[in-house]
Amino acid sequence: MLSSDVRHFSYGRHALAEALKIIGVGSGDKVLLPEFICRDLLSSVNSLGALPVYYGVNKKLALDFEADKLPAAKAIIAVNYFGFPQDFKPFQDYCRRTGAILIEDNAHGLFSRDEDGCLLGTRGDIGIFSLRKTIFMPDGAALILNNTKNVDKLMPQLEFNSAAAPLSFKIKKFFKNIAPFVGVLPLNVMTSIVRFARKIKSGKEIASSSPDAEFNFPGPPNPCRDMFFYFSSVDVENEVQRRRELYTKVDGLLRGSILQPVFEALQQNVVPYGYPFYAAESEIRSIRVLLRKYGFECFRWPELPDAIKPYAPEYYKTVWFANFLW
Ligand SMILES: Cc1ncc(COP(=O)(O)O)c(C=O)c1O
């Protein structure tokens, strides 16, 4: 992924902030984004002094609002949740009516395509990718301009970060490399130890995002020096097939039990980030045990924005996904 209209960053949040800057979003400008979103992403909007304005999504994670009633904003963000293509029609209608810029948040959907075969991330005016979520790498994200509208505002590529990968990444890499020979047991044991230690320290097995994550970025925007090494070592065809097979496997394990998948079917062109499903707190323990037996971890997603938490519908709080990164 390197062309004159692509820029690389460490995190998708930096890529989104840059996208907003390119289209001239500044203090007091409105940016429309879904309520069902990871609170960390707000840092891209808040860092510019812009105002997040929210639209709801339904249980299929599609826009749950008449597009012609959405308020005017400088930009609207459409999210391809878990690598499944968002229905773009209402977003395009909205942009035609208001002149807003359409940003396709494809943080989860590298290699995925819609039903017309169009690569996700290339359908809006600007696409955002969080490469590190799909490819095992210390960090990595991208912004892609899909038309010539703002090409003159694209800044030069930032310098790549020359620091070595953090120790936590090296440890994970070690376990990933030995997994094909020794299975996932050592990894599960290590994960349990880390989680147990974290629970003792902070009261939570899975670290939640920091209180100021809606305002602050996780680190500098420069991508890691080895990003292209990790990127080019991926056999795309294999990776697409691997992800689709894992989806089918988890579907087979969980379907028919208490589980309700978020998406009814895995359409032909979709390359899933994970297997998203709805589960109540009381159900997740047994699901977790079952998934772990087959080497899958599952996580709740997302940690909702502070402004949304108090009135979020129940289904926003019961989405989990089995992760396919490893
Ligand atoms: C839908 C979505 N978009 C963007 C991002 C931001 O990506 P990154 O974590 O690389 O900043 C996330 C991260 O959680 C996300 O879930």
pLDDT tens for each residue of 8-63:
999 999 999 999 999 999 999 999 999 999 999 999 999 999 999 999 999 999 99
* Residue at 5: amino acid letter: D
Q: Which residue has the higher pLDDT, 245 or 197?
A: 245
Q: Which residue has the higher pLDDT, 96 or 66?
A: 96
DSSP helix/strand/coil, 166 = coil
Q: Could you report how far apart the first and last alpha carbons of the chain are, in Å?
A: 21
Calculate how far, in angstroms, residue 12's C-alpha sits from the geometric centre of ligand 1.
Answer: 5
Mean pLDDT across the stretch 175-186?
76
Residues 6+ apart with CB under 8 A from 144: 1, 5, 6, 121, 122, 126, 127, 128, 129
Q: Give me the pLDDT at residue 194, please.
A: 75
Q: Give me the pLDDT at residue 199, please.
A: 76
Calculate how far, in angstroms, residue 35's C-alpha sits from the geometric centre of ligand 1.
Answer: 14
Domains located in the chain, CATH noted: 6-153 (3.40.640.10)
Q: Which residue has the higher pLDDT, 1 or 277?
A: 277
Ligand 1 is surrounded, with C-beta below 6 A, by: 11-13, 38, 40-41, 79, 105, 107-108, 130, 132, 141
Q: Give me the pLDDT at residue 188, please.
A: 72
Mean pLDDT across the stretch 273-281?
94
The CB-side HSE value for 8 (13 A sphere, CA atoms) comes to: 18
pLDDT digits (tens, 9 = 90+) for 118-156: 999 999 999 999 999 999 999 999 999 999 888 899 999
pTM: 0.93
Q: Give me the pLDDT at residue 131, please.
A: 96
Q: Which atom of ligand 1 is nearest to the CA of 11?
A: 10
Q: Give me the pLDDT at residue 3, please.
A: 63
